[in-house]
Amino acid sequence: MKGETMKKMYVIAAVAVLAFMGLVITFAPAAYLGLFGSNLGGVALLNTVGGFGGFYLGFAAWLLLSIRREESRDAAVKAIVAVMGGLVLARLAGMATIGLPPPRMFAALALELAMATWGVLLTARKAGKARDGTAD
């Protein structure tokens, strides 16, 4: 598969995941927190968590718009790597300072790590050479 097709598929996959998560977090923050064993239900906390859903939805919308042009697609791949990589680093920092989360939280970490790694591989491939020795 060509590199640009792979990038497009990667961005579409990220849009699907982020849009779904954004909708769940925005409209059902208590259910989202419940997935990870949290039973916190204060209005301030739920509104704060719901606000993150808006971030996910906005980021997904920007990514969706970026699919059309190659230059924008490259920026989108790098943005996904930055956001997913940042989430991975934040989760690891939390584990180191707060303690281990419930086992279900590791699924989110695995998804974020996979998305970041996939993006890094796509970016690294573009920076390298094609298998036949010609520049990409």
Whose CA is closest to 126, among 93, 91, 78? Answer: 78
Give the torsion sign (CA, 19, 61, 82, 128): positive
How many CA atoms does the CB half-sphere of 88 hold within 13 Å?
Answer: 14
- Give residue 9's domain range: 3-127
pLDDT digits (tens, 9 = 90+) for 31-52: 888 887 777 767 888 888 888 8
Q: Are 76 and 118 in contact (CB under 8 A)?
A: no
Inside any domain, residue 29: yes
Inside any domain, residue 132: no
- For residue 69, give the 3-state DSSP assignment: coil
- Indicate whether 10 pLDDT > 80: yes
Q: Is the model more confident about 135 or about 103?
A: 103
Number of domains in the chain: 1
Q: What mean pLDDT is predicted for residues 100-117?
A: 90
105: confidence class by pLDDT, cuts 50, 70, 90 = confident
Inside any domain, residue 28: yes
- pLDDT at position 54 is 92
Whose CA is closest to 82, among 56, 110, 115, 127? Answer: 115
Q: How much of the chain, in percent, has pLDDT values that exceed 70?
A: 89
Inside any domain, residue 135: no
How far lies 60's CA from each of 6, 101, 119, in Å? 18, 26, 16
Whose CA is closest to 82, among 62, 104, 106? Answer: 62
Alpha-carbon gap, residue 49 to 33, rounded angstroms: 9
Q: Is the model more confident about 42 or about 60?
A: 60
Inside any domain, residue 100: yes
129: confidence class by pLDDT, cuts 50, 70, 90 = low
Inside any domain, residue 136: no
Inside any domain, residue 17: yes
DSSP 40: -
- pLDDT at position 14 is 95
101: confidence class by pLDDT, cuts 50, 70, 90 = confident
79: confidence class by pLDDT, cuts 50, 70, 90 = very high
∠ CA 66-77-74, rounded to 5°: 65
Place of tokens 């859903």: 53
Inside any domain, residue 133: no
